């Protein structure tokens, strides 16, 4: 089944009790049993919920995996993955990643004895140097947030397999429409479904997809045991959002390419980070690894100061100043003071998150209007 058919049909059947074509929102906490232990596969709604089941099957199909496990947020999904490990285990992560992921690694799981190293994954030798006999997982974000660097999933997987280390890919930025890491050999895919999967900035949600039954069993156990489950209404909203993922993503990619080209030609702009630009150092890898280049663009200004960035940030009218990404509307943000404020200054500068760096999440509006909005703000 091709992607556009999958988003409408995979894992989705009309409701057996009514024929409803849209998956009902099973807003219930428990299920009546015919006799003790005799039930229809549903006992208690932390453990199973029919709306959530449909979404889990749909997500597994989109990522070409076998098991989907949904959570109350992307970070709750990360939390569950980390709870598969124990004190003394080591995780190697890319050094340019979502601020909240960095925070939960260091400040939550660090306390329980998990060890994290953050490396520049553009060179495999950096990963090789960080691997020890205690390394259990390599965590990849690609494209990265907010620098839009890529990590070569195939290369990392080859290295990890030799060492018996699991590979997890945060696929939030690309979405399964542009990239399916399990097909490239990754063991675990994680999403903040809050972003492109939901797509309408109206729900917080997270998901994990795997192929391996043992990994799935462990994650289902943690989903139930720790209990950070999404409500059925939120699952419904993600199911609804996914139906147009390919259409929204196509438009976002098209708009982002036009906006990146515009920014690259603007005389106040120092550097534009977008995998679709020929000037992007990993443009060839992007063409190989992704179906298209995504809807995220970041750029720095010639005058590298928070004040210069603020002038742009406060003068757009269509681009709303807000955290998050992946919705139908365009957003503008300032990583240094917003999404990445939890990363220490030194770490932040090392990865290129400069004071003037501005991040754009490109929506599905008309590209000409978006460019005009940015042009006015840049010339303000
Ligand atoms: C937003 C985000 C997360 C966290 O997800 P929440 O749904 O906000 O908990 C993780 N990774 C990336 C890349 C994100 O953009």
CB 122 within 8 A of CB 155: no
CB 232 within 8 A of CB 25: yes
Domains, in order of start, for the chain: 3-242 (3.40.640.10), 246-378 (3.90.1150.10)
pLDDT at 345: 81
195 is catalytic: yes
DSSP for residue 23: P
253 lines ligand 1 (CB under 6 A): no
Half-sphere CA count of 52, side-chain side, radius 13 A: 28
What global pTM score does this model have? 0.96
100 lines ligand 1 (CB under 6 A): yes
Q: What is the pLDDT of residues 193-209, one digit of tens each?
A: 999 999 999 999 999 99
For the chain, what percent of residues have pLDDT higher than 90? 92
Residue 197 falls in which region: left (phi positive, over 0), alpha (psi -120 to 50) or beta: alpha
**pLDDT exceeds cutoff 80 at 340:** no
93 lines ligand 1 (CB under 6 A): no
98 is catalytic: yes
Q: What is the pLDDT of residues 7-28, one digit of tens each?
A: 999 999 999 999 999 999 999 9
Q: How many helices (H) and strands (E) does the chain have?
A: 14, 12
Residue whose CB lies within 8 A of the most ligand 1 atoms, among 77, 150, 172, 189, for a mutation test = 172
For ligand 1, the distance from its centroid to the CA atom of residue 323, given in whole angstroms, is: 11
Q: Which residues pair with 188 in a beta bridge?
A: 168, 210
Lowest mean pLDDT among 52-66, 89-103, 158-172, 191-205: 89-103
Provide the pairing of β-strand 296-301 with 115-119: unpaired
**pLDDT exceeds cutoff 80 at 342:** no
Q: How far apart are CA 258 and CA 364, in angstroms?
A: 12
Helices (H), the chain: 3-9, 50-62, 74-82, 99-103, 124-130, 153-163, 175-178, 213-226, 232-242, 245-264, 283-289, 306-313, 345-350, 367-378
Instruction: State how far Cα 264 lies from the chain centre.
Output: 26
> Which of ligand 1's atoms lies nearest the C-alpha of 97?
13
Q: How far apart are CA 24 and CA 41, in angstroms?
A: 17
């Amino acid at each position: 089944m091709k992607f556009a058919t999958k988003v409408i049909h995979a894992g989705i059947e009309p409701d057996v009790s009514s024929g409803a074509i849209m998956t009902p929102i099973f807003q219930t906490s428990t299920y009546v049993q015919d006799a003790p232990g005799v039930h229809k596969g549903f006992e208690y709604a932390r453990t199973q919920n029919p709306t959530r089941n449909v979404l889990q099957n749909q997500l597994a199909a989109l990522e070409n995996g076998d098991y989907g496990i949904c959570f109350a947020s992307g970070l709750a999904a990360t939390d569950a993955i980390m709870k598969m490990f124990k004190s003394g285990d080591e995780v190697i992560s890319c050094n340019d990643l979502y601020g909240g992921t960095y925070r939960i690694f260091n400040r939550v799981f660090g306390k329980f004895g998990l060890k994290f190293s953050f490396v520049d994954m553009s060179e495999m030798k950096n990963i090789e140097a960080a691997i020890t006999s205690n390394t259990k997982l390599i965590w990849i974000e690609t494209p990265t947030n907010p620098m839009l660097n890529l990590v070569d999933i195939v290369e990392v997987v080859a290295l990890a397999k030799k060492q018996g280390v699991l590979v997890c890919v945060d696929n939030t930025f690309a979405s399964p429409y542009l990239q399916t890491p399990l097909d490239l050999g990754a063991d675990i895919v994680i999403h903040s479904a809050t972003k492109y999967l939901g797509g309408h900035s109206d729900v917080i949600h997270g998901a994990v997809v795997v192929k391996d039954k043992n990994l799935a069993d462990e994650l289902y156990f943690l989903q139930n045991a720790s209990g950070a489950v999404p409500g059925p209404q939120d699952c419904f909203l993600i199911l609804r959002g996914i139906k147009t993922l390919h259409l929204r993503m196509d438009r976002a990619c098209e708009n982002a390419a036009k906006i990146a080209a515009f920014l690259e030609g603007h005389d106040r702009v120092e550097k534009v980070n977008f995998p679709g630009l020929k000037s992007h150092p990993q443009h060839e890898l992007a063409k190989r690894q992704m179906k298209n280049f995504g809807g995220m663009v970041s750029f720095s200004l010639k005058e590298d100061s928070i004040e210069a960035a603020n002038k742009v940030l406060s003068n757009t009218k269509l681009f709303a100043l807000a955290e998050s990404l992946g919705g139908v509307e365009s957003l503008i943000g300032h990583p240094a003071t917003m999404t990445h404020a939890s990363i220490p200054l030194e770490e932040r500068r090392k990865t290129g998150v400069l004071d003037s760096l501005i991040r754009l999440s490109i929506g599905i509006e008309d590209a000409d209007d978006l460019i005009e909005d940015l042009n006015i703000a840049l010339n303000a």
